Structure 1
Amino acid sequence: MTQEIHGTVADGFEGVREEFAAFVAGERPDYEGQLCAYVHGRKVVDLWAGTEADALYGVFSSTKGAAYLVVALLVQDGTLELDRKVTYYWPEFAAEGKGALTLRDLLAHRAGVVGTDSGFTLAELADDRQLAERLADQRPFWRPGTAFGYHAMVSGALAGEVVRRATGRTLQEVYQERIRTPYALDFHLGLPAPHEPRFRTIQPMDPTPEQQALLDATPTGPHTLTSIAFNRNATEPTDLASLPNMPLVRAKGPASVGGVASARGLAGMYAAAISEVGGQAPLLKPDTVAEFGQFHSVGYDLVSRAHRAFGLGFQMTADVAHPFLGAGTIGHSGAGGSQAFADPWSGLAYGYTRRRFAFPGGAAPENDRLAQAIHTAALAL
């Protein structure tokens, strides 16, 4: 039985509802997901199926978008300087030959400390302070600044320690005070206990036989860069899909993977970043968006073993995922299938969440058709 489509779209975006309905009709009967979008600060799409409008999901690495938005704000304020060495803020980071690395290169996944030799415990993964302490002492896996690789589980902790040293506040606290609370965003780095009943447990990936064959054909040993970056070299290897289901992770909200959000929360955050929302000026000035949306690391990613592109932390979404988007689009996807971004050229802010972990991980394939339908409608306005 096909799930019923709920919610509203603005005039001119009727095709988005049709595209969402067509996708849901082809999905499993137990599909749950949400889609939301703003154009120039006005909500134009607010749809969901198989769930409630205000359900919350673990959004995995879409969390990183909130972390980098905090850093962008502090750079804009002058509190942080991109070309200062990380050790100016965090002296202990100099250990094992990392002393010359700049904040710019740290954000661009060029530090080389994608994990540690022995991996992390669950308690460490949930706590950015503990992660940062371990990473400060870690020998880098490549010469810092000379190459790049996705710091999947630790980039938020690395940026967060710089934020803490510079401000005396955790990244999560700055996010709460300057971004989440002023805009009443349903996007939490540390889920408050009263909101726990709204959380929907992430369901594991359910690959087809053909997809499972692809997974089986590409094994990775426990000591490869890929395994180290995803903490599969730990005594108890991390099951990435289960992380948001762990209360400790939800409560602490680690800035790499621990965010909990609705599609409304994801889209609303990016709308606030680039547009006037509710009479409030955009969080970021155009020059700041342009700086963080410049290509900084492009080419072969040593961790992902594929072509990737990063700006200052943010994924270069128009290059990697959605080539129809404007240059300088900033955003980040999550392993479970979520996607979120802001396209400053069209004024589009997009958020998508789903309950079942998507194959093969990262932005779920349906994001391409959904985002393109919204982008087309936005350009026609």
Structure 2
Amino acid sequence: MTQEIHGTVADGFEAVREEFAAFVAGELPDYEGQLCAYVHGRKVVDLWAGEGVDGGSLYAVFSSTKGAAHLVAALLVQDGTLELDRKVTYYWPEFAAEGKGGLTLRDLLAHRAGLVGLDAGFTAQELADDRAVAERLADQRPFWRPGTAFGYHALVIGALSGEVVRRATGRTLQEVYEERIRAPHSLDFFLGLPDALEPRYRPVQPMTPTAPQQAVLDAQPSGPHTLSSIAFNTHVPEPGDLEGHANSRAVRAKGPASAGGVGAARGLAGMYAAAISEVDGRAPLLKPDTVAEVGQIHSVGYDLVARAHRSYGLGFQATAEAWYPFLGAGAFGHSGAGGSQAFADPRSGLAYGYTRRRMAFPGGAAPENERLVKAVHTAALAS
């Protein structure tokens, strides 16, 4: 049975609804997902599909959480509370252990610290708690000379930048996000989901790869002590899985800033709209110089963890370089392992958010985002 598409689009964005409907029609019968977009601060797309879903349903967004974390960092840099070219040890003296004393905050945010995980690994309880992760990483020897290369700090970058935020402000990153970003804009995107909102959470469903997809997964290089296994904490005796991490109430309650956020597509898109545009009479969170700074590519080339070409700004993915080359230079955001995608394209004024319930193959931004982003961007330019 064809799933019904719910929600609204503004005049001129009808093709986006058609593209979303065409994609949903070809998906598994139990597909659940949401798509939202703003252009110059005006909501122009707000769509969803799936039984029991509405525009306010909440999903684990995995690494799309990093966008919220580093919007906090950007605000504090803009305020002058943080300085990008100061050494991390200026804020966090204990970080100097094991040869890390020369690393700047700029390099830390750009995944250049070489501190992707622990030799001994983390427990599941530690991964739910950014303070515990940061405390243990302070004593870890980096896996490459800090600042000389880069690699995706998948499960720890939010804890590292969050500890700098805590040392500089006396507040956790999650508290600053709530006070300065989420609450003022009433965003359905949480770094720490309140108990009262638990009924709106839709637990992650595991990926169901086809036989050819499973063959691709099986052929991927792996090993118990690789940088990738350390970065994703799969080298421990009981590594768990991403679905279990997201579906843990402890993770949702604490909102670890690398991959513990919970939100709706409305919340993701609304956050990036608020970052770059006036929304409902509120001035943009970021000034033009700050927008340019965070979207500027800081690390590009061979990612030592992903073993592939990657690109990062200051805590954000460089979205045009990483995913969608038709976007404007300086677009910034972050995808998530479950398939979510969220970003701002300052040149077109576009802010985009996408969520889905079932994990997408092969991981990271779900492939359908390519066609959905293209449809939204084309309509945005035409409008």
What's the TM-score, normalizing by structure 1? 0.99
Tell me how far apart the structure 1 counterparts of residues 266 and 100 of structure 2 sit (CA, whole Å). Answer: 39
- Aligned residue for 2:318? 316
- Aligned residue for 2:223? 221
- How far the C-alpha of 1:88 sits from its partner, in A, is 0.2
- How far the C-alpha of 1:235 sits from its partner, in A, is 2.7
- How far the C-alpha of 1:178 sits from its partner, in A, is 0.0
- How far the C-alpha of 1:13 sits from its partner, in A, is 0.1
- How far the C-alpha of 1:238 sits from its partner, in A, is 3.3
| Paired residue type of 1:6 | H
- Aligned residue for 2:44? 44
Tell me how far apart the structure 1 counterparts of residues 79 and 184 of structure 2 sit (CA, whole Å). Answer: 17
Tell me how far apart the structure 1 counterparts of residues 131 and 125 of structure 2 sit (CA, whole Å). Answer: 11
Alignment equivalent of 2:355, drawn from 348, 353, 356 = 353
Are 1:339 and 2:331 matched, yes or no? no
Tell me how far apart the structure 1 counterparts of residues 113 and 55 of structure 2 sit (CA, whole Å). Answer: 39
- Aligned residue for 2:260? 258
- SS of 1:300's partner is strand
Tell me how far apart the structure 2 counterparts of residues 346 and 5 of structure 1 sit (CA, whole Å). Answer: 26
- Aligned residue for 1:269? 271
- SS of 1:308's partner is strand
Tell me how far apart the structure 1 counterparts of residues 168 and 238 of structure 2 sit (CA, whole Å). Answer: 34
1:155-170 correspondence runs (5 A): 155-170=157-172
- Aligned residue for 1:62? 64
Are 1:26 and 2:26 matched, yes or no? yes
Tell me how far apart the structure 1 counterparts of residues 207 and 176 of structure 2 sit (CA, whole Å). Answer: 34
- Aligned residue for 1:279? 281
| Paired residue type of 1:197 | P
- SS of 2:132's partner is helix
- SS of 1:298's partner is strand
- How far the C-alpha of 1:3 sits from its partner, in A, is 1.1
- How far the C-alpha of 1:218 sits from its partner, in A, is 1.3
- How far the C-alpha of 1:364 sits from its partner, in A, is 0.2
Range with greater deviation from structure 2 (242-251 or 34-43): 242-251
- Aligned residue for 1:87? 89
Identity %: 80
Tell me how far apart the structure 1 counterparts of residues 325 and 363 of structure 2 sit (CA, whole Å). Answer: 19
Tell me how far apart the structure 2 counterparts of residues 222 and 172 of structure 1 sit (CA, whole Å). Answer: 33
- SS of 2:64's partner is helix
- SS of 1:335's partner is coil
- Aligned residue for 2:77? 75
- How far the C-alpha of 1:53 sits from its partner, in A, is 1.7
Tell me how far apart the structure 2 counterparts of residues 328 and 243 of structure 1 sit (CA, whole Å). Answer: 32
Are 1:153 and 2:155 matched, yes or no? yes
| Paired residue type of 1:36 | C
Tell me how far apart the structure 1 counterparts of residues 205 and 298 of structure 2 sit (CA, whole Å). Answer: 35
Tell me how far apart the structure 1 counterparts of residues 67 and 369 of structure 2 sit (CA, whole Å). Answer: 17
- SS of 1:104's partner is helix
- Aligned residue for 1:296? 298
- Aligned residue for 1:9? 9
Tell me how far apart the structure 1 counterparts of residues 265 and 236 of structure 2 sit (CA, whole Å). Answer: 32
- How far the C-alpha of 1:119 sits from its partner, in A, is 0.6
- How far the C-alpha of 1:242 sits from its partner, in A, is 2.3
Q: Is residue 230–residue 238 contact of structure 1 (8 Å, CA) maintained in 2?
A: no
- Aligned residue for 1:231? 233
The root-mean-square deviation of aligned C-alpha atoms, in Å, is 0.6
Q: Is residue 89–residue 166 contact of structure 1 (8 Å, CA) maintained in 2?
A: yes
- SS of 1:163's partner is helix
Tell me how far apart the structure 2 counterparts of residues 238 and 74 of structure 1 sit (CA, whole Å). Answer: 34
Range with greater deviation from structure 2 (226-235 or 300-309): 226-235
- How far the C-alpha of 1:52 sits from its partner, in A, is 1.7
| Paired residue type of 2:162 | G
Tell me how far apart the structure 2 counterparts of residues 224 and 241 of structure 1 sit (CA, whole Å). Answer: 22
- SS of 2:63's partner is helix
Q: Is residue 119–residue 235 contact of structure 1 (8 Å, CA) maintained in 2?
A: no
Q: Which runs of 4+ in 1 moved over 4 A?
A: none
- SS of 2:144's partner is coil
Q: Is residue 249–residue 258 contact of structure 1 (8 Å, CA) maintained in 2?
A: yes
What's the TM-score, normalizing by structure 2? 0.99
Tell me how far apart the structure 2 counterparts of residues 151 and 241 of structure 1 sit (CA, whole Å). Answer: 19
| Paired residue type of 1:255 | A
1:96-151 Cα offsets, whole Å, 9 max, x none, are 00000000000000000100001100110000000000000000000000000000
Tell me how far apart the structure 1 counterparts of residues 23 and 165 of structure 2 sit (CA, whole Å). Answer: 41
| Paired residue type of 1:153 | L
Alignment equivalent of 1:122, drawn from 102, 105, 124 = 124
Tell me how far apart the structure 2 counterparts of residues 222 and 242 of structure 1 sit (CA, whole Å). Answer: 20
1:250-301 Cα offsets, whole Å, 9 max, x none, are 0000000000000000000000000000100000001001001111000000
Tell me how far apart the structure 1 counterparts of residues 165 and 223 of structure 2 sit (CA, whole Å). Answer: 34
Tell me how far apart the structure 1 counterparts of residues 2 and 33 of structure 2 sit (CA, whole Å). Answer: 13
- SS of 1:96's partner is helix
- SS of 1:59's partner is strand
| Paired residue type of 2:94 | E
Tell me how far apart the structure 2 counterparts of residues 154 and 365 of structure 1 sit (CA, whole Å). Answer: 25
